[in-house]
Amino acid sequence: MSKLTIIRPKKTLSIEDLKELWKYKELLYFFTWRDLKVRYKQTVIGVGWAIFQPFVTMVVFSIFFGKLLNTPSDGVPYPIFVFTGLLFWQFFSGALSETSSVLIGNQAIISKVYFPRLILPLSSVVTKVIDFLIAGAILLMMMVYYGYTPGISALFIMPLLLLITFLLSVGGGLFLASINVKYRDVKYALPFFIQILLFLTPVIYPASIVGKFSWLLAINPMTGVIQASRAVLLGTTPLNWITLGASFFISFLIMFIGVLYFKKVERYSIDIL
Amino acid sequence: MDYVIEVKNLGKKYNIKHHSGGYVTLREIITNALKNPLRFLKKKTKEIIGIDTKEEFWALREFNFNVEKGEVIGIIGPNGAGKSTLLKILTGITPPTEGEVRIKGKVASLLEVGTGFHPELTGRENIFLNGAILGMTRKEISQKFNQIVEFSGIEKFIDTPVKHYSSGMHVRLAFSVAAHMEPDILLIDEVLAVGDAEFQEKCLGKMEEVTKGAGRTILFVSHNMGVIQNLCTKTILIEKGKITAMGETGEVVHQYLYKNQGSIAVSEYKIDISKEVQISKISVIGKTDIPQSRIPISDSFFIKVEFEVFRPVKNTSISVLFYSQGERLLFSSDFDKTLKLKDYEPGKYVSTLHVPSYLFNVGDFYFDVFIGEPSIVGYDSKRNIPLEILNTNNPRSPILRGVSVGKIAIILNFDIERLV
């Protein structure tokens, strides 16, 4: 017997959505595959770009912030210190800006075929995971070069940190993608917003620099992630379970709000695209 | 009874702001809020507590119908009646506001031909991507891959990026993928105006195969009454978001063509005596002497312009300008064959323009009416009066399998003599 589809007015969020998402997992794969294929075809240096971008950023930051400004780095060499931060930061900011335009960018498809719209932003974040892994490989080499051996806990903590950043990017990205449909000028404000966030996150400096106000930074979930990654990989500070827990909680909350808002806008987004 | 599609009390409401205005910018909202904070706050509070009278309209309301397996259903109605909205709901692109639809089986629509093609990817890669977007699994695509390529006829270029394809090749490949989906229910909107003649022939053949093939259910939206009458057993007539007739195709098409057209075919205007001349009524009259805004291509018809003259005017002409959809002026017609301008004394007049059959081709047209002294003064004008030419009793249809191209359909004579 052929399958039965029931079309009803859209509710905000239900368990059906998750089932449906699972049913369309192959499409998630195809969208990710498309993005990767196109990117590495279009760019002359291909995979090189994924290596080049974080590496050059690290070199420039090391020269200006590390050497010339003597930014403290919790006692580890500045290049490896800043690269650990950049690893997560570039994943987060890249995913955020990519996801924010995903509905508008795929307008032609959305207005013609049905599939769970969540697939699109998810696939852009998954695409960024690949870049993350490539940058991660560079970090491994740098650790070998500087002679750092991560503790065994890194094996468990790093995937957890990736998960937190993933949730946060999906949540923030969904939220931005939704308001971007409604207000098309959001995309102009976004680069500025991301740049400000970079300075509000301890990427180029250690959280300790802020002194007794460092708890303020901890509201930013990326703070917990970056600090924890430095703790387990470089042993800068002991792992702070409380900030890590807070990061996880806030990221989860942001993801939840993002999904809810996205589902709400999804109902009429197609009519205004 | 075993239905493949059950539609119950279906409705779709659009917010006019959403529907027509598209997006707003945050900048606009912020500027508005800063310029006039009080009004902004008032509006917001009203919106929040829900007493704001939002402009909304129902594109569809109270739709109830069932489709049995293997039925071919025609969907007809004037532009903007809600036909496309219905298809969009059935494909799941836009959710309904109320009611529900139960569908058994896989739905495909020819709306989606070529959806998601990426110019940088090769033909081969695009087949997989497009197939996946259309809901095929990787296994299904691999199995049908050779058939798809063969049908499209572009084997040679299958590993070339699609950006190097001609638009014809692009369409061929896209249609091939769509044609091999093998859906249980196929939704078709309008005619396929794609590809070259040879390929269209192939597509139509494929469509016929699909239609006759094992119990496939088809919903077919078209303005082409000829095709509807040929293909569909049952037809649904949609007008202003409601189903106004449903049943045997012949009857429904007849109702669409000849009933309830008075309101569109006759436009009456308020009299304003400050003008010298005022158009009071414009009507389109079919061959049966009743107002009719949808005219079969084989019928001649009349355009009646009633006007009142309040002060004597000289050298006046009445002209009708015909436009095709998209504001393209086709031609203008002055009423008098003698091409002389006329003087009018105060009083009421009616002027009748006789439009021959086979002047306009099948499609939507508009006309404007002007009264005035040419290039000196315009007394009155009325614009955008709709007119639809229908493909009924079209002698060309069986020959050309559809409609001939162009906006004008005058039948000219070829004198062919054998020379050698």
pLDDT tens digits along B77-134? 876 788 888 888 888 888 888 888 998 888 887 666 667 788 888 889 889 888 888 8
Orientation of helix A241-272 relative to helix A221-234, angle to 10°: 130
For the cut 80, the answer to whether the pLDDT of residue B380 exceeds it is: yes
Residue in A9, A37, A186 nearest the CB of B97: A9
B22 reaches A (C-beta below 8 A): yes
Distance, in Å, from the CA atom of A258 to the CA atom of A177, rounded to the nearest integer, reads 9
Across the A/B interface, how many CB contacts are shorter than 8 Å? 118
- What's the complex ipTM? 0.80
For the cut 70, the answer to whether the pLDDT of residue B199 exceeds it is: no
Interface of B with A in 344-373 (CB under 8 A): none
Residues in chain A within 8 Å Cβ distance of B128: 30
Domain coordinates of chain B in residue numbers?
A: 14-57, 58-260, 266-390
- Return the minimum-mean-pLDDT range out of A73-82, A212-221, B64-73: A212-221
Among residues B389, B167, B118, B160, the alpha carbon closest in space to that of A36 is found at B118
Q: Confidence class of residue B335 from pLDDT cuts 50, 70 and 90? A: low
pLDDT of residue B236: 92
Highest mean pLDDT among B236-245, B318-327, B338-347: B236-245
Residues in chain B within 8 Å Cβ distance of A4: 102-104
Q: Confidence class of residue B21 from pLDDT cuts 50, 70 and 90? A: very low
pLDDT of residue B398: 61
Please indicate whether, in this complex, the C-beta atoms of B25 and A38 are within 8 angstroms of each other: no
Q: Residue B103's beta-bridge partner residues?
A: A5, B5
Residue in B14, B134, B184 nearest the CB of A2: B184
Q: Give me the mean pLDDT over the A150-157 stretch.
A: 81
Residues in chain A within 8 Å Cβ distance of B136: none
Please indicate whether, in this complex, the C-beta atoms of A182 and B22 are within 8 angstroms of each other: no
For the cut 50, the answer to whether the pLDDT of residue B192 exceeds it is: no
Burial B304-333 (b: 16+ CB within 10 A, else e): ebbbbbbeebeebbbbbbbbbeeeeebeee
**Is the separation of the CB atoms in B2 and B68 below 8 Å?**
yes
Distance, in Å, from the CA atom of A173 to the CA atom of A97, rounded to the nearest integer, reads 7
Q: What DSSP designation does B24 have?
A: B
A212 reaches B (C-beta below 8 A): no
Instruction: Tell me the two tokens of residue B201.
Output: 């022939």
Residues in chain A within 8 Å Cβ distance of B107: 5
pLDDT of residue B406: 79
Residue of chain A with shortest Cα separation from B103? A5
Residue in B14, B23, B121 nearest the CB of A181: B23
Residue of chain A with shortest Cα separation from B111? A112
pLDDT of residue B114: 67
A112 reaches B (C-beta below 8 A): yes
Please indicate whether, in this complex, the C-beta atoms of B118 and A38 are within 8 angstroms of each other: yes
pLDDT of residue A253: 93
- Average pLDDT of chain A is 84
B95 reaches A (C-beta below 8 A): yes
Q: Confidence class of residue A169 from pLDDT cuts 50, 70 and 90? A: very high
Q: Give me the mean pLDDT over the B143-168 stretch.
A: 86
Q: Confidence class of residue A93 from pLDDT cuts 50, 70 and 90? A: very high
CA distances B163 to B122, B126, B167, B173, Å, are 8, 11, 9, 13
Q: Give me the mean pLDDT over the B386-392 stretch.
A: 81
Please indicate whether, in this complex, the C-beta atoms of B94 and A271 are within 8 angstroms of each other: yes
- Average pLDDT of chain B is 79
Q: Give me the mean pLDDT over the B230-234 stretch.
A: 82
Quick one: what percent of chain A has pLDDT higher than 70?
A: 95
Q: Give me the mean pLDDT over the A24-40 stretch.
A: 85
For the cut 50, the answer to whether the pLDDT of residue B63 exceeds it is: yes
Quick one: what percent of chain B has pLDDT higher than 70?
A: 80
CA distances B241 to A16, A268, B106, B238, B273, Å, are 30, 19, 26, 6, 38
Residues 6+ apart with CB under 8 A from B180: B144, B147, B148, B151
Please indicate whether, in this complex, the C-beta atoms of B103 and A7 are within 8 angstroms of each other: yes
CATH of B58-260, one of 3.40.50.300, 3.20.20.30, 3.40.50.2300, 3.30.43.10: 3.40.50.300
Highest mean pLDDT among B20-29, B194-203, B217-226: B217-226
Residue in A41, A182, A184 nearest the CB of B120: A41
Distance, in Å, from the CA atom of B10 to the CA atom of B61, rounded to the nearest integer, reads 6
A271 reaches B (C-beta below 8 A): yes
For the cut 90, the answer to whether the pLDDT of residue A92 exceeds it is: yes
Q: Which residue in A113, A117, A180 has the most chain B C-beta atoms within 10 A of its own C-beta, making it the best mutation to test that interface?
A: A113
Residues in chain B within 8 Å Cβ distance of A8: 95-96, 99-101
**Is the separation of the CB atoms in B26 and A185 below 8 Å?**
yes
Distance, in Å, from the CA atom of B241 to the CA atom of B11, rounded to the nearest integer, reads 9
For the cut 80, the answer to whether the pLDDT of residue B353 exceeds it is: yes
For the cut 80, the answer to whether the pLDDT of residue B23 exceeds it is: no
How many angstroms away from the CA of A103 is the closest CA of chain B?
Answer: 13
CATH level 3 topology of B266-390: Coagulation Factor XIII; Chain A, domain 1 (2.70.50)
Dihedral, CA of residue A173, residue A177, residue A180 and residue A181, to nearest 10: -170
Distance, in Å, from the CA atom of A66 to the CA atom of A204, rounded to the nearest integer, reads 9
Orientation of helix B167-179 relative to helix B197-212, angle to 10°: 10
pLDDT of residue A12: 64
pLDDT of residue B20: 41
Distance, in Å, from the CA atom of B209 to the CA atom of B189, rounded to the nearest integer, reads 18
Distance, in Å, from the CA atom of A257 to the CA atom of A255, rounded to the nearest integer, reads 5
Determine if the pTM surpasses 0.90. Answer: no
Q: Confidence class of residue B401 from pLDDT cuts 50, 70 and 90? A: low
More confident residue, B284 or A187: B284
For the cut 90, the answer to whether the pLDDT of residue B412 exceeds it is: no
Cα A179-A96-B21 angle, rounded to 5 deg:
20
Please indicate whether, in this complex, the C-beta atoms of B93 and A113 are within 8 angstroms of each other: yes
Interface of B with A in 171-210 (CB under 8 A): 184
Residues in chain A within 8 Å Cβ distance of B15: 268, 271
Please indicate whether, in this complex, the C-beta atoms of A7 and B90 are within 8 angstroms of each other: yes
For the cut 60, the answer to whether the pLDDT of residue B51 exceeds it is: no
Q: Confidence class of residue B194 from pLDDT cuts 50, 70 and 90? A: very low
**Is the separation of the CB atoms in A120 and A31 below 8 Å?**
yes
What is the maximal distance between C-alpha atoms in chain B? 88
Residues in chain B within 8 Å Cβ distance of A267: 95
Distance, in Å, from the CA atom of A179 to the CA atom of A261, rounded to the nearest integer, reads 9
For the cut 90, the answer to whether the pLDDT of residue A166 exceeds it is: yes
Residue of chain A with shortest Cα separation from B11? A9
Distance, in Å, from the CA atom of A73 to the CA atom of A82, rounded to the nearest integer, reads 8
How many angstroms away from the CA of A211 is the closest CA of chain B?
Answer: 37
Residue in A6, A114, A268 nearest the CB of B93: A114
Quick one: what percent of chain B has pLDDT higher than 90?
A: 5
Q: Give me the mean pLDDT over the B158-163 stretch.
A: 88
B93 reaches A (C-beta below 8 A): yes
- Return the minimum-mean-pLDDT range out of A198-202, A226-230, B199-203, B218-222: B199-203
Rg of chain B taking only CA atoms, in angstroms: 26
Interface of B with A in 123-162 (CB under 8 A): 125, 128-129, 132-135, 137-138
Please indicate whether, in this complex, the C-beta atoms of B95 and A7 are within 8 angstroms of each other: yes
pLDDT of residue A251: 92
pLDDT of residue A164: 92
Please indicate whether, in this complex, the C-beta atoms of B94 and A27 are within 8 angstroms of each other: no
pLDDT digits (tens, 9 = 90+) for A187-205: 788 889 899 988 888 888 8
